A = this chain, B = another copy of it.
Amino acid sequence: MKFIIQRDQLMDSVQDVMKAISSRTTIPILTGIKLEAHADGVKLTGSDSDISIESFIPKEEEGIVYIEQIEPGSIVIQAKYFPDIVRKLPQNTVEIEADEHLKVTIRSGNSEFHLNGQDADEYPQLPKLHTEDSFELPTDLLKNLIKQTVFAVSTVETRPILTGVNMKVANKELDFVATDSHRLASRKIPLTEETENIAFSSVVIPGKSLIELNKILEDTQENVEISVTENQILFRTKNLYFLSRLLDGNYPETSRLIPDQSKTIVYGNTKELLQSIDRASLLAKENRNNVVRFQTKTDNQLEISSNSPEVGNVVEEVTAKSIDGEELKISFSAKYMMDALKAIESDQVKIEFTGAMRPFIIRPIDNDQVLQLILPVRTY
């Protein structure tokens, strides 16, 4: 195997596949990056067996030549050293060569590295998914669906299914839902002609996979192709192939958690609320999981406060756009509320309460696609 490649393109691909590589894997060869040189380009693969990422660098794209003098072949290189080596090479042209003894030579300018490689035949084969029942989403929309939900997955393994995001199709909508049983985040999009014949009904994608996927995907309007099988999901763009296992088990039915009526509705400025809650929680960091109190007052005033007897207390006054319905005193986790408000992505927010002990809902004022639900904390 041999090729001469542009360092910057190689570096981008190395960084992408590194997202799948864990030094704690039980399969030693998975601590490496697989390099495959083909006539049309070079493919890099990284995997921790939960997530597998392939990044393809074409020989030439839009008239720009990225790779020259390709002699096909493949090798596995230690991922511990390779990214630093590529980053620090002295010139933008890099020659990579592997011989029959699995010795890899990397040359750039007056710099020459010799590394011990491993046999690419020993690298696990990634499953090739059927792509017939696939659908497409614009990349920036998929990134938003992930960003608005994935933070709410559970981080404890007591109910493993809750560490994933539930992607499901119902009522001609595609719905992403995550919950850790204290809060819930949901984002729906209507199915289009292109997506309405999706073959699956409900799968659960590990939150960790989606977090890594979101780091790699660029914020473009180009489509991502999504294919689902019984136990795997594949996200594919022109040069990227991101495969994740799915979580086993049934995701809980979450729709009945969502109250269908409300007793108090608050309309307010998202950023003002976010900043006030942030400040109100500053002294509560060590007490009761960051709990703040939220109270309606007359004249559209809200009071957000917290009290940590040893340290002191904070009182924030916020002027709401309007407060309708019953008076309310409620306590909740400042962290959950801040996560929810950040995911709203709208200047104005609508918060619907059904009493101090019932879950409440946060939505953008102008659309119903995003829904954030938080369970209050009993303090009054």
Which A residues have a C-beta under 8 Å from some C-beta of B?
78, 81, 84-85, 88-90, 104, 110-116, 275-276, 278-279, 282-283, 310-319
Contact = CB atoms under 8 A, between A and B. Distances in A.
23 contacts: A81-B282, A81-B283, A81-B312, A85-B279, A88-B275, A88-B282, A89-B279, A90-B276, A104-B312, A110-B318, A110-B319, A111-B276, A111-B315, A111-B316, A112-B315, A113-B282, A113-B312, A114-B312, A114-B313, A114-B314, A115-B311, A116-B310, A116-B312
B311 A78 contact: yes
Nearest to A88: B279
A14 to B, nearest CB: 14
Contact of A279 (B104, B111, B311, B314): B111
Nearest to A108: B279
Contacts of A316: 110-112
Q: For the complex formed by this chain, how many copies does it contain in all?
A: 2
Contacts of A282: 81, 84-85, 88, 113
Nearest to A286: B80
A310 B31 CA distance: 15
A66 to B, nearest CB: 23
A279 B114 CA distance: 12
Nearest to A276: B111
Contacts of A88: 275, 278-279, 282
A223 to B, nearest CB: 39
A339 to B, nearest CB: 17
A318 B278 CA distance: 54
A314 B278 contact: no
Contacts of A114: 312-315
Contacts of A116: 310-312
Given A113-B279, A113-B314, A115-B283, 14 more contacts: A81-B283, A85-B279, A85-B282, A90-B275, A90-B276, A104-B312, A110-B317, A111-B314, A111-B316, A112-B314, A113-B282, A114-B315, A115-B311, A116-B310
Contacts of A318: 110
A114 B283 CA distance: 10
Contacts of A278: 88
